[in-house]
């Protein structure tokens, strides 16, 4: 990151805090929030023929589908390696030790849809003994 990037970032952060000191956050985002909802409402019911409750339910589902799609794109870009059980098997440790390492923050991983996923690079580092784990000990 260059000095110009840092300066620009700090200037933007200062501006955001100045604005938040003057106005309620809801007022600052109201127009964008309304436009965002209109996008989903137009997607599910462009002619506005559905009852209001059904239109809102469908718009909420469309919004959730969009957010899940964004998460999926981000996850694919991050290139996950394995689920925790797969990593345990590859590293040669038991479930208790693997989850203890996870809870202690020794294993860089993400929880996506209720499943812990660990990158291939983290598995390789674990195998190389760079994470301070107990590689090879099944107890």
pLDDT category of residue 116 using cuts at 50, 70 and 90: confident
Residues 92 and 117 in one domain: yes
pLDDT of residue 78: 60
Residues 15 and 45 in one domain: yes
Residues 19 and 37 in one domain: yes
Separation between Cα atoms, residue 98 and residue 103, nearest integer Å: 9
Residues 46 and 97 in one domain: no
Residues 109 and 122 in one domain: yes
pLDDT digits (tens, 9 = 90+) for 26-73: 888 888 899 999 999 999 999 999 999 999 999 999 999 999 888 878
Considering its fold, how many domains does the chain have in total?
2
Residues 39 and 70 in one domain: yes
Residues 84 and 116 in one domain: yes
Q: What is the sign of the dihedral through the CA atoms of 91, 93, 99 and 101?
A: negative
Residues 15 and 66 in one domain: yes
Residues 48 and 33 in one domain: yes
Residues 52 and 14 in one domain: yes
pLDDT digits (tens, 9 = 90+) for 68-115: 888 878 766 665 577 788 888 888 888 888 888 888 888 778 777 777
Domain housing 9: 3-77
In a domain, 39, yes or no: yes
């Amino acid at each position: 990151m260059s000095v110009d990037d840092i300066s620009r970032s700090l200037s933007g952060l200062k501006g955001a805090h100045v604005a938040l000191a003057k106005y309620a956050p809801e007022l600052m985002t109201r127009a964008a929030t309304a436009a965002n909802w209109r996008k989903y409402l137009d997607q599910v019911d462009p002619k506005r023929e559905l009852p209001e409750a059904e239109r809102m339910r469908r718009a909420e589902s469309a919004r959730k589908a969009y957010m899940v799609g964004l998460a999926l794109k981000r996850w694919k870009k991050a290139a996950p390696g394995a689920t925790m059980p797969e990593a345990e098997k590859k590293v040669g440790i038991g479930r208790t030790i693997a989850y203890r390492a996870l809870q202690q923050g020794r294993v860089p991983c993400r929880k996506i849809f209720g499943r812990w996923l660990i990158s291939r690079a983290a598995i390789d580092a674990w195998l190389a003994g760079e994470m301070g784990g107990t590689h090879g000990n099944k107890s």
